[in-house]
């Protein structure tokens, strides 16, 4: 599937909300959506949650960094967009 829409979402220490955010994006009416999540050096359970979500969801791409900050994380996500 070639996505028609990309969503770039940087996250750091978002374990309490990241599952709902990603699932909400993937439930949108446009099926050809790709969600690119930049996991930016979280110290909570965010990486584990994202790995579980991405395991069975081809429309979700997770990129991990060591904590580069929101601006560079967004830039990295934009480079990965295919829409």
pLDDT of residue 58: 95
pLDDT at residue number 1: 74
Q: Per-block average pLDDT, block size 10, for the chain (83 residues)?
A: 93 98 94 96 98 96 97 97 92
> Helix or strand or coil: residue 52?
helix
């Amino acid at each position: 599937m070639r996505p028609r829409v990309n969503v770039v979402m940087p996250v750091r220490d978002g374990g309490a909300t990241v599952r709902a955010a990603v699932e909400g994006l993937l439930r949108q009416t446009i099926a050809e959506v790709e969600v690119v999540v930049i996991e930016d050096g979280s110290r909570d359970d965010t990486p584990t949650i994202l790995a579980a979500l991405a395991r069975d969801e081809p429309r979700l791409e997770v990129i991990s960094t060591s904590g580069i900050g929101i601006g560079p994380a967004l830039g990295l996500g934009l480079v990965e967009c295919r829409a």
